Amino acid sequence: MVGHKIGWGVHYSPDQRNRPDFNPKGEQLVYCYITANMEIIAGQMMMQPEGGFYPVVLLRDGASKVTIDVESNPKPIGHNQLLDERFKAEVSQARKALQNDLANKEVKQSMLRKSQDVELTITDQFCRLRLAADRPGIHVVQFNKPLTEDSNFFLLCIRALNEDSGVGLGVAGKDFPANKYPGKFRPSVGWTSKDGKLYRNMRHDGNLSGERFQEGDMVGCEMEAFASEMSVALFTKNMRPVATAYYTQSNRAEFLPTIALCANGHDVVIDVYWQNMMRGAPIFSVYHGSYESCHQNIATDSNAEGYNHFEIRLTKDFGPDCPPPAVVLSTATPLDPPPNSCLKLDFLRFWAVNEDESFQLIWDVQVFLFSLCDQEKRLGIFLIVVAAAVAAAAVVVVHVVVVEVEVVEVVVVAVAVVVVVGVVVVVVVVVVVVVVVVTVAAVAVVIEKVVVVVEVIVVVSEVVLLVLAAVVATEAAAVVVASAAILVVVVVVVVLVEVVVMEVVVVVVIIVVVVYVVV
């Protein structure tokens, strides 16, 4: 409310702050507290970095104007004793947590699998890697601790890198060869400095080609796992997102940070902050959309919390002649994707062609199904045609009784009817099955997931059963009536007009075949 006061404060150790050599800006444990109208409402122990904390004010809608006192020290008077008590109560637990944190941040040479030609220097903050100019070939350094959900980001500071040299970073398994760039061996994913491209399992086919990095840049790799066999590698340059790449690796113990160095006649020096040395991955700003600028409709981080759902409102009716807009989930991508983009790597898309259309999403393949109403109509017509064939056979039997035609002639005609109708049905079924199998096989090859074949077959089977059930419930009566009508008409024609049986059967068969082909 207007007139209320809020503030942050830092309280130092009561055992240290009165010493002559006390440095309030040094790295130390401090108690940070929050005040509201000069009353302490919350606080916790923090490690103050070298140089101390600085006050910052953020202004947003609803709080667009404030005043700040920078001349006096508005620390709550009379609360020193309370702050001392809180500091002493929490400092032991904070020191224990600090010791555990330091132990987790420790990096030993035994934790690294590296080429003997790469020089390693370990400090409290980072590991320095150096490859001498006279060392030929590619040399790999791999940290044996995998990236986890809590520690999923590592960072490289490029200290020395000539344009003819190369650095690659990414994620690979423990069997990764010692002379390859990450991403150029299966399974692995990586980003290289020389061409700036992202590679996944020896392929480069994403929407974004990435960009080159060089001496003076900070580059990082973050892994986000959102399914048992699907993860995303997000690569950053100077703390901004560059590009993403999917990584289909189910064993997360194989998410090992991997770096490749190639000197090519020039020294290469990098400082590596492994994931256990980092407090966490950088958080990128997300700009919400507006009607003025389409560029602000893009989230720069696909995993941004609080921005995980969107909807569109249709303002016009749509149908077969006026397709609706599609909704898409995309990785980091330009507004105008290149034509050679691999759909599987970059998009999950839904596009409803009809209002009553249903769909199934299998991995990254969209299996669109026809409207159930259309299925019922088509299958209903098919059953009526089959009923006509059955009626033709029944005519033969009736005509034997009424006109007393020779049995041999009846048998020949009946066999002919069965053969013709059977051949037509079999040919249609075979063609449909072949088309489905070939399509599914092609899709399976493209997305490298054999399991999709089984899932597509299951989906198709379920839909067929569902439609057949609907047809039986809604059109069984129509089929029976149609069959009876055809039977009556043919019998009347045969008995009253005394047309030869063979001619009637031939005419009926021709009608059946023509109707079925047209349908």
Q: Quick one: which of 514, 507, 519 has its CA closest to 392?
A: 507
d(CA 475, CA 128): 76
Q: Of all helices (H) and strands (E), which one includes residue 43?
A: strand 39-48
Tokens of 298: 């893009």
Q: Of all helices (H) and strands (E), which one includes residue 329?
A: strand 327-330
Q: For 427-438, what is the mean pLDDT? A: 66
pLDDT beyond 70 at 263: yes
Higher pLDDT, 511 or 47: 47
What percentage of the chain reaches a pLDDT higher than 70?
A: 50
C-beta of residue 299 within 8 angstroms of C-beta of residue 307: yes
User: Which of 38-42, 161-165, 505-509 shows the lowest mean pLDDT across its residues?
Assistant: 505-509
What is the pLDDT, as a whole number, of residue 398?
Answer: 59
What is the pLDDT, as a whole number, of residue 372?
Answer: 42
Q: Which of 128-132, 245-249, 375-379 is modeled with the greatest confidence?
A: 128-132
Higher pLDDT, 482 or 236: 236
Tell me, yes or no, if the pTM score tops 0.95.
Answer: no
Query: What angle separates helix 451-497 from helix 407-447, to the nearest 10 degrees?
Result: 160
Task: State the CB neighbour count (10 A cutoff) for residue 64.
Answer: 7
Residue positions counted in the chain: 519
132 falls in which pLDDT band (50, 70, 90)? very high
Residue keyed to tokens 């796992």? 225
Higher pLDDT, 173 or 289: 173
316 burial type by CB count under 10 A (0-12 exposed, 13-18 middle, 19+ buried) = exposed
What is the pLDDT, as a whole number, of residue 49?
Answer: 82
SS3 at position 367 = strand
What percentage of the chain reaches a pLDDT higher than 90?
A: 23
Q: Of all helices (H) and strands (E), which one includes residue 133?
A: none
Q: Quick one: which of 237, 217, 238 has its CA closest to 159?
A: 217
d(CA 146, CA 139): 20
Return the bridge partners of 21, or none: none
C-beta of residue 260 within 8 angstroms of C-beta of residue 140: yes
pLDDT beyond 90 at 57: no
Q: For 173-179, what is the mean pLDDT? A: 94
Q: For 393-415, what is the mean pLDDT? A: 56
C-beta of residue 40 within 8 angstroms of C-beta of residue 83: yes
Instruction: Determine the distance from the C-alpha atom of residue 152 to the mean position of all C-alpha atoms in its chain, rounded to a whole number.
Output: 17
SS3 at position 138 = strand
DSSP state of 501: H
508 falls in which pLDDT band (50, 70, 90)? low
Query: Could you tell me the domains of the chain?
Result: 6-105 (no CATH), 109-277 (2.60.120.920), 375-518 (no CATH)
Q: Which of 163-167, 455-459, 512-516 is modeled with the greatest confidence?
A: 163-167
| Radius of gyration (C-alpha) of the chain in whole angstroms | 37
C-beta of residue 361 within 8 angstroms of C-beta of residue 350: yes
* Half-sphere CA count of 313, side-chain side, radius 13 A: 1
pLDDT beyond 50 at 426: yes
Asked, as a colleague might, if the bond just before 323 is cis with ω within 30 of 0, I would say no
76 burial type by CB count under 10 A (0-12 exposed, 13-18 middle, 19+ buried) = middle
d(CA 98, CA 196): 38
What is the pLDDT, as a whole number, of residue 153?
Answer: 92
C-beta of residue 214 within 8 angstroms of C-beta of residue 157: no
Higher pLDDT, 490 or 439: 439
Residue keyed to tokens 């997931």? 449
User: Which of 18-27, 194-203, 351-360 shows the lowest mean pLDDT across its residues?
Assistant: 351-360
pLDDT beyond 80 at 447: no
pLDDT beyond 80 at 354: no
